Amino acid sequence: MLHASLPPKVRVIVRLSLLAVLSGVGRAYGQATEGSIVGTVRDQQQAVLPGATVTVTNEATGLARTLVSDATGNYEASHLPIGSYSVAAELAGFKRTTVTGVHLAIKSRPRTRC
């Protein structure tokens, strides 16, 4: 056996080191650094617009994510890094709408209306 050949002091150090490493694993998974932007795409009469193309753009980096609103006009862009975003929605036959300055904090879910 390996532990029988190690001095007691070394075994204690190994056990404490292993305990320290394993106790930090849960914390690493719990440290979220992202959030989600949700919303509903509506026309000027406030009717929902399913199938609209929604583009969520990080205003600092320019990185964009494009998605499509569901049957009830809703959309969700999840797992976004924190920061400031713009959200644009467009659908053939309707005017493009853009909302800027959507602030995304850790684990937040700001709601926008396009």
Calculate what percentage of the chain has a pLDDT beyond 70. Answer: 79
Rounded Cα–Cα distance for residues 63 and 85 (Å): 10
* Alpha-carbon gap, residue 17 to 24, rounded angstroms: 11
pLDDT in tens, 31-58: 678 999 999 999 999 999 999 999 999 9
pLDDT of 113 reads 85
Q: Residue 2: what pLDDT?
A: 52
Position 109, amino acid: R
pTM of the entire structure? 0.71
Model pLDDT, residue 6? 66
In whole angstroms, what is the distance from residue 83 CA to residue 34 CA? 9
| Runs of H (alpha helix) within 1-65 | 2-5, 8-30
Rounded average pLDDT over 10-24: 64
